[in-house]
Amino acid sequence: MNSAKTHFPKKEILLELQDVWKTYQMGSESLDVLRGVSVSIYKGEFVTILGPSGSGKSTLMNLVGILDIPTRGHILLEKKDLSHLSESALAQLRGKKIGFVFQQFNLIHTLSALENVILPTIFQNVPQTQRIERAKELLALVGLADRMHHRPNELSGGQQQRVAIARALVNNPEIILADEPTGNLDSQSGKQIMELLTTLHEKEKKTIILVTHDQSLVRHAQRTISLRDGKIVSITNK
Ligand SMILES: Nc1ncnc2c1ncn2[C@@H]1O[C@H](COP(=O)(O)OP(=O)(O)OP(=O)(O)O)[C@@H](O)[C@H]1O
Ligand SMILES: [Mg+2]
Protein backbone atom coordinates (compact mmCIF):
# COMPACT_ATOMS: atom_id res chain seq x y z
CA MET A 1 0.00 0.00 0.00
CA ASN A 2 1.26 3.39 -0.94
CA SER A 3 -1.48 5.52 0.54
CA ALA A 4 -0.57 8.49 2.72
CA LYS A 5 -3.04 7.09 5.22
CA THR A 6 -0.69 4.29 6.12
CA HIS A 7 1.69 6.87 7.60
CA PHE A 8 -0.72 7.93 10.31
CA PRO A 9 0.41 6.42 13.59
CA LYS A 10 -2.09 4.19 15.34
CA LYS A 11 -3.67 5.64 18.46
CA GLU A 12 -1.72 4.22 21.34
CA ILE A 13 -3.08 4.21 24.86
CA LEU A 14 -0.69 5.93 27.23
CA LEU A 15 -2.77 5.97 30.35
CA GLU A 16 -5.78 3.94 31.34
CA LEU A 17 -8.03 4.49 34.32
CA GLN A 18 -10.23 1.54 35.23
CA ASP A 19 -13.07 2.18 37.67
CA VAL A 20 -10.98 4.52 39.82
CA TRP A 21 -12.36 5.53 43.22
CA LYS A 22 -10.92 7.87 45.82
CA THR A 23 -12.50 7.90 49.22
CA TYR A 24 -11.42 10.06 52.13
CA GLN A 25 -12.22 9.04 55.67
CA MET A 26 -13.35 12.09 57.68
CA GLY A 27 -13.90 10.85 61.22
CA SER A 28 -16.80 8.42 61.03
CA GLU A 29 -17.86 9.61 57.59
CA SER A 30 -16.37 8.57 54.29
CA LEU A 31 -16.32 10.94 51.37
CA ASP A 32 -16.30 9.48 47.85
CA VAL A 33 -14.45 12.15 45.91
CA LEU A 34 -13.98 10.02 42.78
CA ARG A 35 -16.68 7.50 42.03
CA GLY A 36 -15.72 5.02 39.35
CA VAL A 37 -13.74 7.00 36.77
CA SER A 38 -12.83 5.00 33.65
CA VAL A 39 -11.07 6.62 30.69
CA SER A 40 -8.12 6.11 28.35
CA ILE A 41 -5.71 8.85 27.38
CA TYR A 42 -3.80 8.41 24.13
CA LYS A 43 -0.16 9.20 23.41
CA GLY A 44 0.28 12.74 22.13
CA GLU A 45 -3.23 13.82 23.03
CA PHE A 46 -4.26 17.20 24.45
CA VAL A 47 -7.11 16.65 26.89
CA THR A 48 -8.88 19.09 29.16
CA ILE A 49 -10.68 18.13 32.33
CA LEU A 50 -13.52 20.49 33.00
CA GLY A 51 -15.69 20.63 36.08
CA PRO A 52 -16.94 22.79 38.93
CA SER A 53 -14.98 23.40 42.10
CA GLY A 54 -14.94 20.29 44.27
CA SER A 55 -15.80 17.88 41.44
CA GLY A 56 -12.53 15.97 41.95
CA LYS A 57 -10.30 17.39 39.20
CA SER A 58 -7.19 17.88 41.32
CA THR A 59 -7.76 14.58 43.09
CA LEU A 60 -7.80 12.89 39.69
CA MET A 61 -4.64 14.71 38.56
CA ASN A 62 -2.83 13.65 41.71
CA LEU A 63 -3.68 10.02 40.96
CA VAL A 64 -2.67 10.30 37.31
CA GLY A 65 0.54 12.05 38.38
CA ILE A 66 1.35 9.25 40.83
CA LEU A 67 1.34 11.66 43.76
CA ASP A 68 -1.44 9.62 45.37
CA ILE A 69 -2.99 6.17 44.96
CA PRO A 70 -6.64 5.24 44.30
CA THR A 71 -8.75 3.70 47.03
CA ARG A 72 -10.10 1.27 44.46
CA GLY A 73 -9.61 0.58 40.77
CA HIS A 74 -6.54 0.58 38.58
CA ILE A 75 -4.35 3.04 36.73
CA LEU A 76 -2.18 1.69 33.93
CA LEU A 77 0.69 3.73 32.53
CA GLU A 78 2.03 2.25 29.28
CA LYS A 79 0.14 -0.95 30.17
CA LYS A 80 1.86 -1.21 33.57
CA ASP A 81 -0.57 -1.41 36.48
CA LEU A 82 0.70 1.15 38.99
CA SER A 83 -0.79 -0.83 41.89
CA HIS A 84 1.74 -3.60 41.19
CA LEU A 85 4.76 -1.33 41.51
CA SER A 86 6.92 -0.57 44.56
CA GLU A 87 7.19 2.90 46.09
CA SER A 88 10.61 3.41 44.54
CA ALA A 89 9.48 2.23 41.11
CA LEU A 90 6.57 4.67 41.32
CA ALA A 91 8.89 7.52 42.28
CA GLN A 92 11.14 6.67 39.32
CA LEU A 93 8.20 6.65 36.95
CA ARG A 94 6.83 9.92 38.33
CA GLY A 95 10.22 11.64 37.92
CA LYS A 96 10.78 10.39 34.38
CA LYS A 97 7.36 10.36 32.77
CA ILE A 98 5.43 13.20 34.37
CA GLY A 99 5.85 16.95 34.52
CA PHE A 100 3.57 18.97 36.80
CA VAL A 101 2.40 22.55 36.45
CA PHE A 102 0.25 23.89 39.30
CA GLN A 103 -1.97 26.92 39.75
CA GLN A 104 0.27 28.31 42.53
CA PHE A 105 3.47 27.69 40.50
CA ASN A 106 5.04 25.87 43.51
CA LEU A 107 8.53 27.23 42.94
CA ILE A 108 11.12 27.22 45.71
CA HIS A 109 11.53 30.81 46.79
CA THR A 110 15.12 30.62 47.98
CA LEU A 111 16.32 29.27 44.62
CA SER A 112 16.87 31.10 41.33
CA ALA A 113 14.82 30.28 38.24
CA LEU A 114 17.73 28.21 36.94
CA GLU A 115 18.12 26.31 40.23
CA ASN A 116 14.38 25.62 40.32
CA VAL A 117 14.51 24.13 36.84
CA ILE A 118 17.58 22.01 37.65
CA LEU A 119 16.10 20.64 40.88
CA PRO A 120 14.13 17.66 39.45
CA THR A 121 17.23 16.45 37.58
CA ILE A 122 19.21 15.84 40.75
CA PHE A 123 18.04 12.24 41.02
CA GLN A 124 18.68 11.49 37.35
CA ASN A 125 21.90 9.88 36.33
CA VAL A 126 23.12 12.69 34.09
CA PRO A 127 26.33 14.77 34.46
CA GLN A 128 25.81 18.15 36.12
CA THR A 129 27.09 20.25 33.21
CA GLN A 130 24.58 18.56 30.92
CA ARG A 131 21.75 19.16 33.40
CA ILE A 132 22.63 22.86 33.67
CA GLU A 133 22.75 23.17 29.88
CA ARG A 134 19.35 21.54 29.54
CA ALA A 135 17.83 23.86 32.18
CA LYS A 136 19.24 26.91 30.38
CA GLU A 137 17.87 25.71 27.05
CA LEU A 138 14.42 25.28 28.56
CA LEU A 139 14.46 28.71 30.17
CA ALA A 140 15.34 30.10 26.75
CA LEU A 141 12.48 28.10 25.22
CA VAL A 142 9.99 29.70 27.61
CA GLY A 143 11.46 33.14 26.89
CA LEU A 144 13.35 33.65 30.16
CA ALA A 145 17.00 33.41 29.14
CA ASP A 146 17.52 36.87 30.61
CA ARG A 147 15.83 36.02 33.92
CA MET A 148 17.50 32.80 34.95
CA HIS A 149 19.28 34.21 38.01
CA HIS A 150 16.12 35.85 39.33
CA ARG A 151 14.34 34.40 42.34
CA PRO A 152 10.59 33.76 42.05
CA ASN A 153 9.72 36.97 43.95
CA GLU A 154 11.73 38.91 41.36
CA LEU A 155 9.52 37.54 38.55
CA SER A 156 5.97 38.26 37.45
CA GLY A 157 3.28 35.62 37.86
CA GLY A 158 3.40 34.70 34.18
CA GLN A 159 7.19 34.44 34.31
CA GLN A 160 7.00 32.23 37.41
CA GLN A 161 4.59 29.93 35.62
CA ARG A 162 6.97 29.77 32.66
CA VAL A 163 9.78 28.74 35.04
CA ALA A 164 7.41 26.06 36.38
CA ILE A 165 6.80 24.83 32.84
CA ALA A 166 10.55 24.69 32.15
CA ARG A 167 10.94 22.72 35.39
CA ALA A 168 8.15 20.34 34.32
CA LEU A 169 10.01 19.68 31.06
CA VAL A 170 13.51 19.20 32.40
CA ASN A 171 13.40 15.39 32.62
CA ASN A 172 11.77 15.25 29.21
CA PRO A 173 8.51 13.73 30.46
CA GLU A 174 5.97 12.08 28.21
CA ILE A 175 3.05 13.71 30.00
CA ILE A 176 2.46 17.26 31.19
CA LEU A 177 -0.20 17.63 33.87
CA ALA A 178 -1.34 21.21 34.26
CA ASP A 179 -3.83 21.93 37.06
CA GLU A 180 -5.39 25.38 36.47
CA PRO A 181 -2.05 26.75 35.18
CA THR A 182 -3.60 30.07 34.20
CA GLY A 183 -5.82 30.38 37.29
CA ASN A 184 -3.60 32.96 39.00
CA LEU A 185 -2.62 34.91 35.91
CA ASP A 186 -3.93 37.94 34.07
CA SER A 187 -5.42 37.17 30.68
CA GLN A 188 -2.32 38.16 28.67
CA SER A 189 0.04 35.94 30.71
CA GLY A 190 -2.59 33.20 30.67
CA LYS A 191 -2.66 33.37 26.90
CA GLN A 192 1.13 33.00 26.72
CA ILE A 193 1.01 29.93 28.96
CA MET A 194 -1.70 28.36 26.80
CA GLU A 195 0.34 29.09 23.67
CA LEU A 196 3.33 27.44 25.29
CA LEU A 197 1.33 24.33 26.20
CA THR A 198 -0.08 24.17 22.67
CA THR A 199 3.45 24.39 21.21
CA LEU A 200 4.63 21.61 23.52
CA HIS A 201 1.78 19.50 22.27
CA GLU A 202 2.22 20.26 18.58
CA LYS A 203 6.00 20.50 18.27
CA GLU A 204 7.29 18.31 21.08
CA LYS A 205 4.45 15.78 20.82
CA LYS A 206 3.79 15.89 24.56
CA THR A 207 0.64 14.41 25.99
CA ILE A 208 -1.10 17.21 27.86
CA ILE A 209 -3.80 16.95 30.47
CA LEU A 210 -5.11 20.36 31.45
CA VAL A 211 -7.51 20.98 34.31
CA THR A 212 -9.58 24.11 34.10
CA HIS A 213 -12.95 25.54 34.87
CA ASP A 214 -12.47 28.11 32.13
CA GLN A 215 -14.68 27.07 29.23
CA SER A 216 -12.71 29.28 26.83
CA LEU A 217 -9.56 27.13 27.19
CA VAL A 218 -11.31 24.02 25.95
CA ARG A 219 -10.72 24.94 22.30
CA HIS A 220 -7.02 24.16 22.75
CA ALA A 221 -7.77 20.50 23.41
CA GLN A 222 -8.73 17.58 21.22
CA ARG A 223 -10.98 16.04 23.85
CA THR A 224 -12.75 17.40 26.88
CA ILE A 225 -13.65 15.26 29.86
CA SER A 226 -16.38 16.73 32.06
CA LEU A 227 -16.39 15.77 35.70
CA ARG A 228 -19.27 16.24 38.16
CA ASP A 229 -19.33 14.95 41.70
CA GLY A 230 -16.43 12.59 41.08
CA LYS A 231 -17.86 11.04 37.93
CA ILE A 232 -17.28 11.55 34.21
CA VAL A 233 -20.52 12.95 32.79
CA SER A 234 -19.32 13.43 29.22
CA ILE A 235 -16.34 13.17 26.91
CA THR A 236 -16.49 15.36 23.84
CA ASN A 237 -14.21 15.47 20.81
CA LYS A 238 -13.24 18.73 19.18
N1 LIG B 1 -7.16 15.17 51.62
C2 LIG B 1 -8.49 15.31 51.58
N3 LIG B 1 -9.27 14.90 52.61
C4 LIG B 1 -10.59 15.02 52.56
N5 LIG B 1 -11.29 15.55 51.54
C6 LIG B 1 -10.58 16.00 50.49
C7 LIG B 1 -9.15 15.90 50.45
N8 LIG B 1 -8.72 16.41 49.28
C9 LIG B 1 -9.84 16.82 48.63
N10 LIG B 1 -10.95 16.57 49.34
C11 LIG B 1 -12.33 16.87 48.94
O12 LIG B 1 -12.53 16.28 47.69
C13 LIG B 1 -13.37 17.07 46.87
C14 LIG B 1 -12.69 17.28 45.53
O15 LIG B 1 -11.52 18.06 45.71
P16 LIG B 1 -10.59 18.49 44.49
O17 LIG B 1 -9.48 19.27 45.06
O18 LIG B 1 -10.24 17.28 43.70
O19 LIG B 1 -11.60 19.39 43.66
P20 LIG B 1 -11.35 20.25 42.35
O21 LIG B 1 -12.30 19.75 41.31
O22 LIG B 1 -9.90 20.24 42.00
O23 LIG B 1 -11.82 21.70 42.80
P24 LIG B 1 -11.20 23.18 42.45
O25 LIG B 1 -11.74 23.53 41.10
O26 LIG B 1 -11.77 24.04 43.52
O27 LIG B 1 -9.71 23.08 42.47
C28 LIG B 1 -13.62 18.36 47.65
O29 LIG B 1 -14.91 18.29 48.17
C30 LIG B 1 -12.58 18.34 48.73
O31 LIG B 1 -13.06 18.92 49.90
MG1 LIG C 1 -8.39 21.72 41.99
When pLDDT is averaged across residues 103-125 and rounded to a whole number, the result is: 93
Q: How many CB atoms lie within 10 A of CB 53?
A: 7
Give the full edge-to-edge strand order of the sheet including 207-212. 98-102, 175-179, 207-212, 46-50, 223-228, 231-237
User: Cα of 71 to ligand 2 centre, how many Å?
Assistant: 19
Among protein residues, the one with the nearest Cα to ligand 1's atom 30 is 54
Please state, in angstroms and rounded to a whole number, the distance separating the CA atoms of residues 76 and 16: 5
Structural domain contains residue 2? no
First-last CA distance in the chain: 30
pTM of the entire structure?
0.91
Tell the residue nearest (CA) to atom 19 of ligand 1. Answer: 54
Q: How far is the CA of 24 from the centre of ligand 1 (A)?
A: 10
Q: Number of structural domains, the chain? A: 1
Looking at residue 223, which CATH number applies to its domain? Answer: 3.40.50.300
pLDDT-based confidence at residue 7 (cuts at 50, 70, 90): low
pLDDT tens for 120-170 read 998 778 899 999 999 999 999 999 999 999 999 999 999 999 999 999 999
Does a structural domain hold residue 224? yes
113 CA → ligand 2 middle, Å = 25
Please determine, for residue 233, whether its predicted confidence score (pLDDT) is greater than 80. Answer: yes
Q: Which of 24, 68, 182, 215 to mutate to test the pocket of ligand 1 (most atoms within 8 A of CB)?
A: 24
In this structure, is residue 5 part of a structural domain?
no
Residues having CB closer than 6 A to ligand 1 are 24, 26, 31, 33, 51, 53-59, 213
Single out the residue of 136, 207, 192 nearest to residue 161, CA to CA: 192
Query: What pLDDT is stored for residue 175 in this prediction?
Result: 96
On average, the pLDDT of the chain sits at 92
88 lies in which domain range? 11-237
Euclidean distance between CA atoms 92 and 90, whole angstroms: 5
What percent of the chain has a predicted confidence (pLDDT) above 70? 96
- Inside any domain, residue 6: no
Q: Is the pLDDT of residue 9 over 70?
A: no
Question: If you measure from the C-alpha of residue 73 to the centroid of ligand 2, how many angstroms do you get, rounded to a whole number?
Answer: 21
Interval 33-81: pLDDT, tens: 999 999 999 999 999 999 999 999 999 999 999 999 999 999 999 999 9
In this prediction, residue 42 carries a pLDDT of 96
Please report whether residue 220 resides in a domain: yes
Q: Whose CA is nearest to atom 17 of ligand 1?
A: 58
Judged against a pLDDT cut of 80, whether residue 99 lies above it is answered with: yes
Asked if residue 188 lies in contact with residue 175, where contact means CB atoms within 8 angstroms, the answer is: no
5 exposure class (CB count in 10 Å sphere: 0-12, 13-18, 19+): exposed
Q: Please give the number of the atom of ligand 1 that sits closest to the Cα of 60.
A: 18
- The answer to whether residue 82 is domain-embedded is yes
> Is pLDDT above 50 for 1?
no
Q: What is the pLDDT of residue 74?
A: 98
Ligand 2: centre distance to CA 173 (Å): 22
Reported as a single tens digit per residue, the pLDDT across 161-216 is 999 999 999 999 999 999 999 988 888 888 888 999 999 999 999 999 999 877 87
Structural domain contains residue 4 = no
Nearest CA to ligand 1 atom 27: 53
